[in-house]
Structure 1
Amino acid sequence: MPLFLRDIWPIEPLREYKIHFARWNKHNQPLDVFARDRQEWQNWQEYKPGRNEFNRPLIFSLIQFYHETDSWLFGGVYEVTARHDDRYEVALRGNGEEMIGRLKIHYAYRDRTTRPVMERHYENFEVQEILKEPYSGRSFPGFDEIDLSFEELESLVCNNRDDWRISLASVKGIYLITDTSTGRRYVGSAYGDQGVWGRWCQYAENGHGGNVQLRQIAQDADLAYARANFRFALLEHRLDRTPDDMIIARETYWKRILFTRGAQGLNRN
């Protein structure tokens, strides 16, 4: 028997609320924005399109949990404190504060409207689960299932998630970075301090990790290009006692079979 939000959290009056169904805006996933920077997430509530869509005093924000179908993460209740021609000013309210980033709602929402009225949807919000801790990134899926957007990697590094850090810091490895806007790929290896984790932290910091070719296309200070286009995958991992020359040899192998040198790829050697 499903448990509905109205059963555990009566919200009145509904006509004071607009819902914000935050979804991918063709540049960023709001779930990753929420995980890495709460102020940046608040900025999503302050964005004002051409119309005054937040025309009620309160915003019930939901974040598309894009790893799962029809799943939404509660992002807080915000009060609209001022309306300007180009933006809103909002303040986080205490309503449901303990559920921010923890409450997951199951609801099949397909409409194009991002900011509908609360009373049309609230009655059918089904409680999917309540996380033990506020969401800070996906759980580590195992070495053979790693496929991350740059934004996901960035949020994992920002939150220093133990499951990812401990796992990736314990191994050396060969990884693949794909620029999804061009299809060009880069193969790299990690065999220094903190293994794969240490190397990927460098990418999360500046978007290019010091690689010449990547620096040429991802040198924007706000990491916008990397966030929009880079994906990371782990091709293979080895125990941290594996000799470095063996890791380098495996890197060369992957460069050869994936044609990542020259015009087709992003490796210079």
Structure 2
Amino acid sequence: MTTIPLTDIVPITQPELFKVHFATWNGTNRPLDVFLRDRAEWDGWNSHKGQRDYFNRPHILSWLEFHTERHTWLFGGVYNVLGQDEGAYLVGRSPLFENMIGRLKVVYRVGRLRRVRLESVLPGMIVSEILREPYSGAVFPGYENVDLRFGELETILRNEKLDWRAALQNVKGVYLITDLSNGRKYVGSAYGGHGVWSRWRSYIDTGHGWNAEFSGLLTKEGIGYARENFKFTLLEYRPARVDDVEVIQREGFWKDALLTRGTFGYNRN
């Protein structure tokens, strides 16, 4: 199969002027989620200095780990290094290759270092695809396959992904929230005049969705805890015309089945 080297798409005649930033999960956030929900926050990822002078060249070629595909990176832009202090670099977005931001994907097996000289990696970077539009989140996979980390769901809701909204806005349902830090679970439901989309939006806006157990937890830990640890799974869905009683009964079934009341979960009733 014929491959397309990155240099065919983004010709760089002076690679010695660039450092490459391969952004990966920092223990709390995935760079792809950050890039999609808040571009200013993503800029901050490229200004972090740490203890070493990694970005000691005029430009940064920035890539985000596209974590759903092995060894794949999404182009996050070029940044000009304008200066620095003890804690951060002063960077500015460059117009260079800006039409490829969020669209260009490459395959490259990154080693231990995440900030490297461009000339050392450029020959091995192969174009995976160029998207028609900048990436805006995962495509709706069908009701039976909805299983998302908090950050992924946040991206979908804040970007008003039309396929997800169309699917979830007018259905009732029962869902599971799993706390990955301890395995405890919470079963909830969406019914009445609120579809799953609206109910899940309340979690993204508050972190806790007005659930008493989560509210107490996040008052102490902050919404960053939810972004790092919460995962949402749609257990069942029903058309909007279905009586609320049926949804509530199914919610009770799942609470019993998954033992989410008491020691093993966050449900109080």
TM-score clears 0.5: yes
1:192 and 1:199 in contact (8 A); partners too: no
AA in 1 matched with 2:243: P
Q: After TM superposition, list the pairs within 5 Å mapping 1:173-212 onto structure 2.
A: 173-212=173-212
Other structure's SS at 2:46 match: helix
Partner residue, 1:116 = 116
Residue 249 of structure 1 is matched in structure 2 by 249
Unaligned runs of 5+ in 2: none
Q: Is residue 219 of structure 2 the alignment partner of residue 219 of structure 1?
A: yes
Question: Residue type of the partner of 2:197?
Answer: W
Summarize the Cα distance change of 1:219–1:135 in structure 2 as closer, same or farther, 3 Å threshold: farther
Instruction: Give the TM-score taking structure 2 as reference length.
Output: 0.97
| 1:258/1:31 CA distance change after superposition, 3 Å | same
Match of 1:235 in 2: 235
For these two proteins, the number of residue pairs brought into alignment is 268
Q: Measure the CA separation in 2 of the matches of 1:211 and 1:11.
A: 52
Aligned mates of 2:9, 2:48 — CA distance in 1: 30
Trace 1:91-110 onto structure 2 (pairs within 5 A): 91-109=92-110
Deviation beyond 4 Å, 4+ runs, structure 1: none
What root-mean-square deviation, in Å, do the aligned CA atoms of Structure 1 and Structure 2 show? 1.1
Alpha-carbon separation, structure 2, partners of 1:222 and 1:76: 30
Amino acid in structure 2 at the alignment position of 1:36: R
Correspondences of 1:58-73 after superposition (within 5 Å): 58-73=59-74
Distance 2:116 2:219 in 1: 38
SS of the residue 2:225 aligns to: helix
Structure 1 spans left out of the alignment, 5+ residues: none
**Which piece of structure 1 moves more, 222-231 or 46-55?**
222-231
- Secondary structure at 1:11 match in 2: coil
How far the C-alpha of 1:194 sits from its partner, in A, is 4.5
Change (3 A) 1:74 1:220: farther
C-alpha separation between the residues in 2 aligned to 1:200 and 1:245? 20
Mapped to 1, the partners of 2:182 and 2:221 lie a distance apart of: 21
Amino acid at match of 1:61: S
What CA deviation, in whole Å up to 9, does each residue of 1:153-182 have, x standing for no partner?
Answer: 111111010011110112111000011111
Distance across 1 between alignment mates of 2:82 and 2:222: 28
Partner AA of 1:112 in structure 2: R
Q: 1:91 and 1:229 mapped to 2: Cα distance?
A: 32
Aligned twin of 1:51: 52
Between the two proteins, what is the percent identity of the paired residues?
49
CA distance in 2, matches of 1:6, 1:38: 26
In the alignment, which residue of structure 1 is the partner of 2:145?
145
More displaced stretch, 191-200 vs 72-81: 191-200
Q: TM-score, normalised by structure 1?
A: 0.97
- Cα distance, 1:258 vs structure 2: 0.2
Alignment of 1:148-159 (within 5 A): 148-159=148-159
Aligned residue in 1 for 2:16: 15
Deviation at 1:222, TM superposition (A): 5.6
Counterpart of 1:260, as a letter, is T
Q: CA deviation at 1:59?
A: 0.3
Partner of 2:131: 131
The superposition leaves residues 158-210 of structure 1 with CA deviations (integer Å, 9 ceiling, x where unpaired) of 10100111101121110000111111100000113341001000101010000
Shift of 1:12: 2.0
Note the C-alpha offset of 1:214.
Answer: 0.9
Deviations along 1:91-130, one digit per CA (max 9) or x if unpaired, are: 0000110110111111122x12110100011122111111
Name the aligned partner's letter for residue 252 of structure 1: G
C-alpha separation between the residues in 2 aligned to 1:34 and 1:84? Answer: 24
Aligned to 2:25: 24
Letter in 2 for 1:243: D
Letter of the 1:226 partner, please give it: A
SS in 2 for 1:200: helix
